[in-house]
Amino acid sequence: MGRYFSLSAASLLLASGHAGARSVLEPVGEEAQQIAVLFWVMLSGGALIWLGVVALLLHAALFKRHGMNERSASRIILWGGVVFPSVTLCALLAYALWLMPGLRPFTQAMGSTALRIEITGRQFWWEVVYHPPQGPPVTSANEIRLPVGERVELTLKSADVIHSFWIPPLGGKMDMIPGRTNRLSLLATKPGAFRGPCAEYCGTSHALMAFSAVAMEPEAFRSWLAGQANPAESAGASGGALFLRHGCGSCHFVAGTDARGLIGPDLSHLGSRITVGAGILPNTEDAIARFIARPELIKPGSRMPAFDMLPPDDIRAIAAWLRGLQ
Amino acid sequence: MRLIPKEVETLWTLFTAPVVWIAHFLVCYIGAAIYCAKPELVGLSFSAVRAGIAAATVIALSLIALSAWLAWRQWGFGTDDPPHDDPTSRDRSLFQGFATLLLSGLSFIAVIFTAMPALFLTECIR
């Protein structure tokens, strides 16, 4: 019962936390724009053909009471059943293929001035490393920020099973395959916050594996990235001490502290993220505390053990400290 | 031109066009896969791969057109209308000719569809 309750609570939050999250039909990325046009072309073409077939069917059923001679029947089959589908399919295929180089524009994005973001799928979260053209790499998790109007290269990997990376309003999907590096490039055209789901079944909590994607104005993005490169200051140092004392640091990394674990998500700037638990809970102290106490209720199959044996005050202090890591 | 004596009844002519389609498909996909996995092994540019696909396509389409012409002839150049369903060797031959002609048409279109990506893709994407 408890599991069902928390799962439905999580999905409610999922729905409300991303209210207004855009879909593929409201594109704000160059690639997604082309995909949306392709969708509407296919849909209208399909609708026209369907109407034509239904009209023919009605015509035959209602008005055409007598048979047709063999010659005209053969002609209808030849033109309607062979020539028309072949030509239409050929045209649609040509249109889709013509779009492809634009949907996967790699060489242009490969310039050394481009920002590269390395994303590794893990059951059931995302490791994110920014490689800016200048400066050291910046590590984060479960949230991807990118500058508007600049092409960004994404390097996609997996540490365990096949995942699939997808930001619907920005571009198409790309699989993350263990032992392989796939590349994707995206260009956001408007600022906004979007939800990116894992688009390939990857295990028990596949449906609860998501991330937030934020497209920001280039200047805002650069100052944000510069801030992420430095350790965050959080009030409530007692929470920080408890975090280390209870061993959280053996799995999680928090910049500027002795927490150097690399098994779970990097928490250096957890407080500045839109969601916690990889895109499924709003970023509140309460949600963080619930995750610490019983991760398997929120994310079944998660590798993080439950910490509900800790005193509730300790959990709250740790949650407050993490929330303060802006 | 007669490759197989008239008195020999074989189904092989029926498969000619689809076999050409299979061969063309494998040449295009395996060729592109090998080139994109190990460009240094082949030592050619991607344009050479596209030219190779174009050449394979011209050869495949010519073979299929030849198969279609032979089938058309076997069908008696369309003098008899289907269905050829009498239990006679003449009808069997006409049926096979007509079926081969249809399969040739399908294979012709399929070969064009297989080759079309090479018209638009200008690099290996990895």
Q: Which residues of A touch B120 (CB under 8 A)?
A: 94, 97-98, 100-101
Among residues A288, A268, A269, which one has the least CA distance to residue A277? A288
| Residue A157 C-beta-side C-alpha neighbours within 13 Å | 12
> Is residue A303 located within the same domain as residue A196?
no
Distance from the Cα of residue A53 to its chain's centroid: 39
Q: Which residues of A12-40 are buried (b: 16+ CB within 10 A; e: fewer)?
A: ebbeebbeebbebeebbbbbbbbbbeeee
CA–CA gap between residue A307 and residue A289 (Å, rounded):
10
Whether the predicted pLDDT of A12 surpasses 60: no
Whether A77 has its CB under 8 Å from any CB of chain B: the answer is no
pLDDT above 90 (res A22): no
- Reported confidence tier of residue A24, pLDDT bands at 50, 70, 90: confident
The percent of residues in chain A predicted with pLDDT above 90, rounded, is: 67
* A291 contacts: CB under 8 Å, gap ≥ 6: A276, A277, A281, A298, A299, A304
Q: Which of B116, B122, B123 sits opposite A93 (nearest CB)?
A: B116
Contact B105 A98 (CB under 8 A): no
User: For A227-248, what is the mean pLDDT?
Assistant: 88
Residue A317: domain span: 237-323
Number of A/B CB contacts below 8 angstroms equals 32
Question: Does B125 sit within 8 Å of A104, measured CB to CB?
Answer: yes
- What pLDDT score was predicted for residue A16? 41
The answer to whether the Cβ–Cβ distance between A97 and B125 falls below 8 Å is no
SS3 A163: strand
Residue A196 placed within a domain: yes
Distance from the B117 Cα atom to the nearest Cα atom in chain A, whole angstroms: 6
Q: pLDDT at residue B7 above 70?
A: no
Looking at residue A300, its pLDDT comes to 93
Q: What's phi and psi for A198, nearest 5 deg?
A: -75, 130
Do both A219 and A272 map to the same domain?
no
- What average pLDDT does this structure show over A226-235? 86
Contact at 8 Å (CB) between A155 and A176? no
Token representation of residue B121: 């893709």
DSSP A112: T
Say if residue A214 is in the same domain as residue A270.
no
Give the pLDDT score at A209: 95
What value does the mean pLDDT of chain A take?
A: 88
Residue A147 pLDDT exceeds 90? yes
A11 lies in a domain? no
B12 vs A82: which has the higher pLDDT: A82
| Contact list, B122 vs chain A (CB under 8 Å) | 101
* Distance (Å, whole) CA A21 – CA B33: 39
Domain of residue A293, CATH code? 2.60.40.420
Q: Among A184, A204, A229, give the residue marking a domain's end.
A: A229
Q: Looking at the structure, do residues A137 and A224 belong to the same domain, yes or no?
A: yes
Q: Are residues A225 and A241 in the same domain?
A: no
In this model, does residue A137 exceed pLDDT 50?
yes
Does the beta carbon of A4 lie under 8 angstroms from any beta carbon of chain B? no
Two tokens, residue A97: 């293929």
Same domain, A314 and A256: yes
Give the containing element (helix H, strand E) for A300. none
Contacts of B113 in chain A (CB under 8 A): 89-90, 93
CA distance B5 to chain A (A): 33
Which chain B residue has its CA at the smallest distance from A98's CA?
Answer: B120
A100 touches chain B (CB under 8 A): yes
Are A128 and A153 in the same domain?
yes
For position A73, what pLDDT does the model report? 87
- pLDDT score, position A10: 42
For residues A28 and A137, membership in a common domain is answered with yes
Res. B105: pLDDT tops 90? yes
Helical ranges in chain A per DSSP H: 2-17, 30-58, 70-76, 84-103, 218-228, 237-245, 285-293, 295-298, 312-323
Which DSSP symbol is given to A108? G
Give me the mean pLDDT over the B72-88 stretch: 85
Residue A179 phi/psi, 5-degree rounding, is 80, 5
- Please indicate if any CB of chain B lies within 8 Å of the CB of A183: yes
For tokens 């013509």, the residue is A98
Give yes or no for a contact between A10 and A208, defined as CB atoms under 8 angstroms apart: yes
Report the pLDDT value the prediction gives residue A111, as an integer from 0 to 100.
59
Instruction: Please name the member of B116, B123, B126 whose beta carbon is closest to the beta carbon of A97.
Output: B116
A69–chain B Cβ distance below 8 A for any pair: no
**Residue A143 reports pLDDT greater than 80:** yes
β strands within A198-234, DSSP E:
210-216
Please indicate, yes or no, whether residues A263 and A127 belong to a single structural domain of this protein.
Answer: no
Whether residue A15 is predicted with pLDDT greater than 60 in this model: the reply is: no
User: Is A84 within a domain?
Assistant: no
Instruction: Give B126's contacts in chain A (Cβ within 8 Å).
Output: 182-183
State the DSSP code for A78: I
Which residue do the tokens 């509407």 mark? Answer: A40
Nearest to B117 among A86, A90, A97 (CB): A97
Residues A105-122 have pLDDT tens digits of: 665 545 556 889 999 999
How close is the nearest chain B Cα to the Cα of A325, in Å? Answer: 38
- Give the model's confidence band at A66: pLDDT under 50 very low, under 70 low, under 90 confident, else very high: confident
| Sign of the CA dihedral with B13 first, then B17, B18, and B23 last | positive
Residue A181 lies in a domain: yes
Which one is predicted more confidently, A113 or A57?
Answer: A57
Mean pLDDT of B74-93: 85
- Confirm whether A275 is domain-assigned: yes
Bridge partner residues of A184 (DSSP): A154
Per-residue model confidence (pLDDT) at position A86: 93
Tokens read off for A320: 């407050």
Contact at CB, B109 and A90, closer than 8 angstroms? yes
Residue-wise burial string across A307-316, b where 16 or more C-beta atoms lie within 10 A, e elsewhere: beebeeebbb
Mean pLDDT along residues A52-76 = 87
Position of tokens 């994109």?
A: B36
Of residues A86, A97, A106, nearest to B125 (C-beta): A106
Q: With contact defined as beta carbons under 8 Å apart, do A214 and A143 qualify?
A: yes
Cβ-proximal residues to A142 (8 Å cutoff; 6+ apart), any chain: A125, A126, A128, A211, A212, A265, A273, A275, A276, A278, A279
Q: What is the pLDDT of residue A9?
A: 41
User: Residue A10 domain-assigned?
Assistant: no
Residue among B112, B120, B123 minimizing CB distance to A98 = B120
Q: Are residues A8 and A146 in contact, defined by beta-carbon separation less than 8 angstroms? A: no
Mutate to test the interface with B, among A31, A34, A97, A177 (most CBs of B within 10 A): A97
In a domain, A13, yes or no: no
Angle between helices B89-115 and B46-74 (to 10 degrees): 160
User: Considering only CA atoms, which of A266, A288, A292 is closest in space to residue A276?
Assistant: A288
| Over residues A82-96, mean pLDDT | 92
More confident residue, A316 or A68: A316
The pLDDT score that the predictor gives to residue A6 is 44
- Based on the fold, state whether residues A221 and A243 are members of the same structural domain: no
Answer yes or no: is pLDDT of A5 > 60. no
Strands (DSSP E) contained in A79-191 are: 116-122, 125-131, 138-141, 143-147, 152-158, 163-165, 174-176, 182-186
CB contact under 8 A, A97 and B121: yes
Q: What is the mean pLDDT of residues B93-110?
A: 93
DSSP at B76: T
pLDDT digits (tens, 9 = 90+) for A154-208: 999 999 999 999 999 999 999 999 999 998 889 999 999 999 999 999 999 999 9
* CA-angle at B115, arms to B30 and A170, nearest 5°: 90
**ipTM rounded to 2 decimals:** 0.83
Are residues A199 and A263 located together in one domain of the fold?
no
Q: Last residue of some domain: A197, A229, A261?
A: A229
Residue with tokens 């059923």: A61
Q: What is the pLDDT of residues A280-300, one digit of tens each?
A: 999 999 999 999 999 999 999
The residue type found at B100 is T
> Based on the domain organization, do A218 and A270 belong to the same domain?
no
- The predicted pLDDT at position B36 comes to 87
pLDDT surpassing 70 at residue A8: no
